[in-house]
Amino acid sequence: MTTRPAKVDTGMGVSCIVSTVIHLAVFLLLLWWGKLFPVNMVVQETYYVDVVNLPVANPRAGSPTQKGNETEIAPPPPVAPVSAMNLPEKPKPSAKTAAKPDPRVAQSAAESSEAALAERVAKLERGLEARREDAVMERLRSKLKSAGSGKSGMPAASGTEQGSDYTAYIQSRLKDAFRDTISYSTKNPEMIVRLFIDSGGKLSRRISERSSGDRAFELAVLRAIDMASEKFTPPPDKKQFEGVFVFKPQGITTNRGK
């Protein structure tokens, strides 16, 4: 009679071991993951409020009591009014404890006083200037009144230099116009012009006798002559006037020798 060895089923044991190893690995993995990335949970704190003994705007003296537990303490009796007493006078501040002046306030006060002083000085200067102008005008009026209806002429003239004051008049008109038209491109420009004015005060002819060659200056002189000739008055002797004038950037002079 032959005996066969019994077969041992090892499949079940191997499955259990494998399952245990897998579960253990998953558990360790979760544990490691939780340590590496901890979960931040918000902890909400709970506050308890005593709704019986709430604070009031004007609390009264005494121990706090709850409704229904203890009887309220009766308020203290009113205090009899005390007669008025004379309060001691406040001590006067000594010189040592006096408040120091603010330097900014002092500076602003000084600036305002300086501004007021400057304004008063300016008013005085304007008043003096106005009085001077009035005095000058008054002297001119008195001179005109004392002149009467005499003939026009130069104060030092003998009466034979006819039209000599008219030359000064033409020179003044030319200067007024030349201030508005003056222009030059060279260093020392110059131009000499001879003017002819008829008996009616109209510019009849002009001759350029000499020029430094500055074209801009020549045009400025000619424009000044045209502008001034619009306001010329007739010569006092009712004869044709002839005069020579020298134009420079410094001003206009007359050439009486030519």
Whether 126 is covered by a domain: the verdict is yes
Task: Please determine, for residue 37, whether its predicted confidence score (pLDDT) is greater than 50.
Answer: yes
HSE of 253 in the Cβ direction (CA atoms, 13 Å)?
Answer: 8
Statement to judge: residues 221 and 188 lie in one domain: yes
Buried-exposed string 196-218: b where 16+ CB fall within 10 A, e elsewhere: ebbeeeebeebeeeebeebeebb
Task: Please determine, for residue 148, whether its predicted confidence score (pLDDT) is greater than 90.
Answer: no
Question: Looking at per-residue confidence, does 37 or 74 come out higher?
Answer: 37
Q: Give percent above pLDDT 90 in the chain.
A: 31
Task: Please determine, for residue 63, whether its predicted confidence score (pLDDT) is greater than 70.
Answer: no
Task: Please determine, for residue 152, whether its predicted confidence score (pLDDT) is greater than 50.
Answer: no
Short-list 189, 188, 154, CA closest to 168:
154
Amino acid at 74: A
Statement to judge: residues 168 and 250 lie in one domain: yes
State pLDDT tens for residues 88-143.
Answer: 565 565 544 455 556 676 677 778 888 888 888 888 888 888 888 888 888 887 77
Look over the chain and give the mean of its residue pLDDT values, rounded to a whole number: 75
pLDDT of residue 4: 61
Residue in the structure block whose two tokens are 């102008």: 133
What is the DSSP secondary structure assignment for residue 155, as one 8-state letter? T
Rounded to 10°, the helix 215-229/164-181 angle is 120
pLDDT of residue 177: 93
Statement to judge: residues 236 and 169 lie in one domain: yes
Whether 51 is covered by a domain: the verdict is no
Q: In the numeric block, which tokens belong to residue 254?
A: 């007359």
Asked if 192 contacts 246 with a C-beta cutoff of 8 angstroms, the reply is yes
Asked if 234 contacts 160 with a C-beta cutoff of 8 angstroms, the reply is no
Whether 67 is covered by a domain: the verdict is no
Q: In which domain, by residue range, is 177 found?
A: 164-254
pLDDT of residue 141: 79
Task: Give 159's pLDDT tier (boundaries 50, 70, 90).
Answer: very low
Average pLDDT over residues 34-39: 69
Whether 36 is covered by a domain: the verdict is no
Helices (H), the chain: 11-36, 103-147, 164-181, 215-229
Asked if 199 contacts 239 with a C-beta cutoff of 8 angstroms, the reply is yes
Greatest mean pLDDT among 62-71, 117-126, 153-162, 169-178: 169-178
Say if strands 241-248 and 191-197 run parallel, antiparallel, or are unpaired.
antiparallel
Cα(207)–Cα(241) distance, rounded to whole angstroms? 14
Average pLDDT over residues 1-6: 58
Statement to judge: residues 119 and 193 lie in one domain: no
- Give the list of residues 6+ apart from residue 244 with CB closer than 8 angstroms, or none: 192, 193, 194, 195, 209, 254, 255, 256, 258
**Total number of domains constituting the chain:** 2
Statement to judge: residues 174 and 246 lie in one domain: yes
Average pLDDT over residues 69-89: 53
Cα(222)–Cα(218) distance, rounded to whole angstroms? 6
Statement to judge: residues 186 and 228 lie in one domain: yes
Q: In the numeric block, which tokens belong to residue 223?
A: 């424009």
Task: Please determine, for residue 151, whether its predicted confidence score (pLDDT) is greater than 80.
Answer: no
CATH number, domain with residue 243: 3.30.1150
Whether 9 is covered by a domain: the verdict is no
Q: Can you tell me whether residue 57 is helix, strand or coil?
A: coil
Whether 26 is covered by a domain: the verdict is no
pTM, whole model, 2 decimals? Answer: 0.38
Task: Give 71's pLDDT tier (boundaries 50, 70, 90).
Answer: very low
pLDDT of residue 77: 60
Least confident of 12-26, 37-51, 126-140, 161-175: 37-51
